[in-house]
Amino acid sequence: LSGNFGGKWIFMPNKVAIVTDSLACLTRELVEEYEIGIVPLNIHFEGKVYKDWVDITPSQSYELFLKNPDSWGSSAPSPEDFLKAYREASKQAKNIL
């Protein structure tokens, strides 16, 4: 963003942070380039819970699914997980999308 303030054009840094869950399937390059906050989904398999992209990669998750589809599942991140991500994002930006 930029604007004309007092006859001068000044650059205003981006004041919007982006937070999404890992279901968005964004590339690591995109996440790093735009500093996007990712809240991981929960992957359930045989009584264990894995955080997507933290404890398990999408390929590993798919392999587990192929191994035993009846024992595989997923769930949304908790509201607390999102709140934590929003709090972190608010330290860097004025607005959060």
pLDDT tens digits along 21-56: 999 989 889 999 988 999 999 999 999 999 999 999
Per-domain boundaries in the chain:
15-96
Tell me how crowded residue 51 is: count the other CB atoms within 10 A of its CB.
15
Q: What is the DSSP letter of 94?
A: S
Question: What integer pLDDT is reported at residue 8 of this predicted model?
Answer: 56
If one compares 1 and 15, the residue with the highest pLDDT of the two is 15
Q: What is the pLDDT of residues 54-66, one digit of tens each?
A: 999 999 999 999 9
**Phi and psi angles of residue 72, each rounded to the nearest 5 degrees, phi first:** -100, 140
Q: Is 15-96 CATH 3.40.50.300?
A: no
pLDDT band at 15 (very low <50, low <70, confident <90, very high): confident
